[in-house]
Amino acid sequence: MTVTIVGLGLIGGSAARDLARTGLASVQIGVESDPDHLRTARQLGLIDRELALAEAVTAADLVILAIPVDAILRILPDVLDRITDRQTVVDMGSTKQMIVDAVRNHPRRARFVAAHPMAGTEDTGPAASREHLFASRIAILCDTADSAPDALATAERLFTTGLGMRLIRMDAARHDLNAAYVSHLPHILSYALALTTLAQERDDPSLFSLAAGGFTSTARLAKSDPAMWEPILKQNRHNLLAALGAYQEHIATLTKAIADDDPARIRALITEANRIRAFMA
C-alpha cells in the first residue's frame, strides 16, 4: 500500500525505514516542512518522493502523523476533511485525550486511529532515525471503538507487521494518566537534574568529570527537544501536575529522612523503591 508519513524526524524516519524493510509500504511519500530534514531524509533514502500535505494525503492508503502533538491537533481535522472511507489515518503522538477530543464529531472520525508507539530516543531528526527502533516495544491504541474495524486492522498491521510491536488497547484518558507517570514525569525530573547540575557546574567546571553511568542514564532525557516536549507537557498538564505533586512528596520524604539522619527510614524507603525491579526488564 501507499503510505504517507507526515514528519520525517526520529519517529517518522524510523517508521519509514521499517516499512520499507518489511515491505508493508510499496510506496512511501514524505511530508516535511523543515528543508534540512527533508534533504537529510532524501539523502538517507527514507522516502520514494515528497509531496505537499494535501497531495500526499490524497495519494495515500495510510497516513501516519509523526509530528509534535500541537501540530497533530492543528492538522488532523484538515487531514480527515480530505480523505475517503478507504483511507486510514494514524497518529503517533505522546498525548491522546486532546487529540481524540479534537476530532470527536468529525464525519470521518472512524477513519482515524489514535496511537502511541512507546519507543523513541532523546535525539531528533531523520539523522537519528534507525531500523528496529520499535521492535518488541508496546504500541497503545486508544478509544478503538471510535475507529472503523478496517481502519483499526490497518493500524494494527502497521504496528505489528510493519514495525514489529505488541499492541495494547486503552482509553485515551487512561493512556494520558499513565503516560504522565512513566514518560512525561521522567522527562521533567531529568530536565530538573540537568538544570541543577548545569547551575552547579558554574561553581566548579570539573563537576561533570565525575559523571558516570548513573548520571548519564538519569540525565539522558534532558537532551529531549523543546519543540516536541513543550506541547506534550501542555496537553497533558493536569495529569502531569498530579504526578509532579506526588513526586515532590516522595522527594520531600526522602529529603526529610536524610535531614533527620534516620538510617532505618532511609533503608525502608530504598527497599520499597527497589520493588521497581519487578516491573523492569
C-beta closer to a copy of itself: residue 49 or 250: 250
Task: Give me the residues paired with residue 141 across strands.
Answer: 115, 169
Rank residues 33 and 253 by Cβ distance to a copy of itself and give the closer one. Answer: 253
3-class secondary-structure state, position 192: helix
166, 138 in Cβ contact below 8 A? Answer: yes
Task: Report if residue 202 touches a copy of itself, rule: CB under 8 A.
Answer: no
Distance separating alpha carbons of residues 166 and 206, to the nearest angstrom: 44
Q: Is 185 in the site for a copy of itself (CB under 8 A)?
A: yes
The nearest distance, CB 155 to a copy of itself, in angstroms, is 18
Binding flag, residue 84, a copy of itself (CB under 8 A): no
Site map for a copy of itself, 205-234, x if CB under 8 A? Answer: -xxxxxxxxxxxxxxxxxxxxx--xxx-xx
Q: CB-wise, 30 or 117, nearer to a copy of itself?
A: 117
Q: Closest approach of Cβ 129 to a copy of itself, in Å?
A: 15
Rule CB under 8 A: say whether 240 interacts with a copy of itself.
yes
- Shortest Å, Cβ 28 to a copy of itself: 25
- d(C-alpha 266, C-alpha 253), whole Å: 9
How far, CA to CA in Å, does 150 sit from each of 64, 74, 144, 146, 147? 16, 25, 11, 12, 8
- Determine the interface stretch with a copy of itself among 40-48, 58-66, 72-80, 183-191 (rule: CB under 8 A): 183-191
Residue 76 lies near a copy of itself (rule: CB under 8 A)? no
25-54 positions binding a copy of itself, by CB under 8 A: none
| Closest CB to a copy of itself among residues 147, 224 | 224
Beta bridge partner(s), residue 168: 140
Q: Contacts with a copy of itself in 119-178 (CB under 8 A)?
A: 119-121, 137-138, 140, 168, 170, 174-175, 177-178
Q: Which three cell numbers mark 191? A: 530536565
* Residue from 51, 118, 127, 128 in contact with a copy of itself (CB under 8 A): 118
Q: Look at strands 49-50 and 27-31 and give their pairing.
A: parallel
Determine the interface stretch with a copy of itself among 7-15, 27-35, 103-111, 256-264 (rule: CB under 8 A).
256-264
Q: How many helices (H) and strands (E) does the chain have?
A: 12, 8
Residue in the structure block whose three cell numbers are 502497521 = 158
Could you tell me where the DSSP H helices lie in the chain?
A: 10-22, 35-43, 53-59, 69-82, 97-102, 149-157, 172-179, 185-203, 213-219, 226-235, 237-259, 263-273
State which of residues 86, 104, 202, 275 lies at the interface with a copy of itself (CB under 8 A): 275
Position of cell 519509514?
16
Q: How many residues bind a copy of itself (CB under 8 A)?
A: 93
With CB under 8 A as the contact rule, the residue among 54, 135, 153, 258 that binds a copy of itself is 258
Binding status of residue 281 toward a copy of itself by CB under 8 A: yes
- Enter the C-alpha cell of residue 95: 498525548
- The one-letter amino acid at 78: D
Minimum distance from CB of 196 to a copy of itself (Å)? 5
Q: Of the candidates 100, 53, 103, 64, which has an alpha carbon nearest to the alpha carbon of residue 80?
A: 103
